[in-house]
Homo-oligomer: A and B are copies of this chain.
């Protein structure tokens, strides 16, 4: 349940777009019409519309109106990398049956090499977790995570099999905020072949990232290794003045 007005408006309009109230190419009602409908100022409407624009749903045009964009690919998407979303949330969102198997759950101390790779301080106590994601009966994703142990206290292999984010947010009250992500393609390792159903692929789409919580410290380094036919999306890209 959205608490803020702009979130409510954002969700309402987004639902209307997704349910097909407007078709592609249509102009949305004007901002002034929305202010009347939602009983707020243009600023608040504009904030909600800006979020939808950022996600690639809308194309606002000066003097004309705001157009809904046709998006052939969105329907086929499974995981988006524009937002932070746990695997469980993504699977739920797409109504896909997904199961998780924890293959490693152990403590590690951050050495120099690992520190340079992950950004954790040398000597930090970390939790190392490897999980295999099975979707539609196939093992297609290998997730590798390093958590800062001091921040993820109480995390167990049982919880990791369900949803770590849900535990951290609901039980521990952590607030996941922001992350940086890097996308690469990599040759599959022996470990990838061992745990994933690679079919005839010998490479992977790898998404690496750092996650910060609202306490301000980086508490997770994550790597998600996807079989290439598991497509990932950036919801939108916006051109800045150059």
Contacts and interface: CB of A to CB of B under 8 A. Distances in A.
A49 B156 CA distance: 38
Interface residues of A, number: 64
Contacts of A209: 237
Interface string A190-232: 0000000000011111001100101010100000001010011
Nearest to A209: B237
Copy number in the complex reads 2
A174 to B, nearest CB: 11
A169 to B, nearest CB: 8
Given A240-B83, A241-B2, A180 B74 contact: yes
A233 B181 contact: yes
A37 interface: no
Contact of A237 (B81, B116, B119, B242): B81
A74 B182 CA distance: 9
B56 A180 contact: yes
A19 B29 CA distance: 44
A73 interface: yes
Interface string A60-81: 0110100101111110010001
